[in-house]
A and B are shown apart, each in its own frame.
Chain A
Amino acid sequence: MNIDSIKNGYVIDHISAGHGMKIYEYLQLEKLDCSVAMIMNARSTKMGKKDIIKIDQKVKIDFDVLGYIDPNITINVIENDKKVKKFHPELKEELIDIVKCKNPRCITSVERGLKHICILKDKKKAQYRCKYCDSEV
């Protein structure tokens, strides 16, 4: 299967197989006004199978969100057909409205208009806790 290379944009590589759609949703890529290619179950020597997302435009995207979903992801920045930068997403100190607290006893389960805020508690374990009830998310 061939998918054209991109001139300017991003290639999100080394996504664990099956996580591609989740990342598509988190980054709200459907709202972009450019082509987005989703390659699922691509062969990988390192990972066996992986997902890849190609975004055909350099738009502002908060890639740090991806650190929470899959810290092994690689983001390649493409300019004029060349890879100019490659990086792994950082773990954000605070995730706002990215993950929802699942504790039914948490105030976020009933209070309208309240943002779901998760705080990074353990960088090594990529562990976040709800700011309000301290539950692990």
Chain B
Amino acid sequence: MRNLIGIEDFSTEEIDELIEVSKNIISNKEKYLEKCKGKILATLFFEPSTRTRLSFESAMLSLGGGVLGFSSADSSSTQKGETLADTIKVVSGYSDIIAMRHPKEGAPIVAANNSNVPIINAGDGGHNHPTQTLLDLLTISQEKGRLNNFTVGLCGDLKFGRTVHSLIIALSRYENIKFVLISPNELKIPDYLKQDVLDKKNIDYIETESLEENIDKLDILYMTRVQKERFLNEEEYVRLKDVYILDKQKLEKAKKDLCIMHPLPRVNEISTEIDNDPRAAYFRQAEYGKYMRMAIILKLLNVK
């Protein structure tokens, strides 16, 4: 039985296969309408989320399966003091596959150790968010037609931004990827990522605080939100939340074929004035999320 806990659970070939299946779904939706008939997806969201949960549910419904679950820890037995291990043991008896978001890092490993059905990590604190990464890769492949030879700018909260961590790990498997890591000093990427991934694989990267000075070099700009829920200290959040705002003026210096991505939801970091710019890919990216999650469900349930 396979789980998806971190992006490293899939080989590069498997990732490429998931991207191909997603593209096939996009162009042949009707072919997939009954692929998961009779199967149940449990969405266990111990932390609020709209997009990820709905896209998982939409994915399973579009495959002909059913969904059940909860959307906050308040409406689960956690409130009564139940351990995650117990919750998973029970829910794995009610479903064929589980997508779980949990505020604590490493929670999906506990889930996988206690489940009889595949676990999909739909985000664990600031740690990993592999399905977001896979949909990001699908977006890049769709928008740019390839997954190699890029300069990728990652901007905003690179410390707690789990999407960024997983994306760095995934993109570092492809050839000639350079990273421009743009963040305030307090929100730089964790050392373990630098040591274990970037340094280990000799990947070219720079760390900078300036978006303006680097935007002209980028083929892809991945903006992130500074997430209030990751801060233990509110003052620090307030000081850092609006450090980067991408607007028309900053975009003037950018390449004409720049691909602007954002995991959403955004707050102020991307001005709405650029939403209609053809380089703004973030709403298309959100839609690709559904197709990638359909491909992931099919793979983990071993449905051809």
Q: Which of B104, B107, B232 has the most CB of A within 10 A?
A: B104
Cβ-defined contact, A121 with B105, below 8 A: no
Closest to B195 in A: A122
Cβ-defined contact, A106 with B196, below 8 A: no
Contact with A along B188-226 (1 / 0, CB 8 A): 000110001000000000000000000000000000000
Could you say which residues of chain A place their CB within 8 Å of the CB of B124? Answer: 107
Could you say which residues of chain A place their CB within 8 Å of the CB of B192? Answer: 129, 134, 136
Dominant secondary structure of chain A at its interface with chain B? loop
Q: Which of A107, A130, A134 contacts B110 (CB 8 A)?
A: A107
Contact with B along A29-49 (1 / 0, CB 8 A): 000000000000000000000
A72 interface hit (Cβ, 8 Å): no
Cβ-defined contact, A133 with B127, below 8 A: yes
A57-114 contacts to B, CB under 8 A, are 103-114
Cβ-defined contact, B106 with A107, below 8 A: yes
A132 interface hit (Cβ, 8 Å): yes
Cβ-defined contact, A110 with B109, below 8 A: no
Q: Which of A113, A121, A132, A136 contacts B106 (CB 8 A)?
A: A132
**What are 24 residue pairs bridging A and B, where the CB atoms are less than 8 Å apart in the complex?**
A103-B105, A104-B232, A105-B104, A105-B125, A105-B126, A106-B105, A108-B106, A110-B104, A111-B83, A111-B85, A111-B110, A112-B83, A113-B85, A114-B110, A121-B196, A131-B106, A132-B107, A133-B105, A133-B127, A134-B105, A134-B106, A134-B192, A135-B105, A136-B192
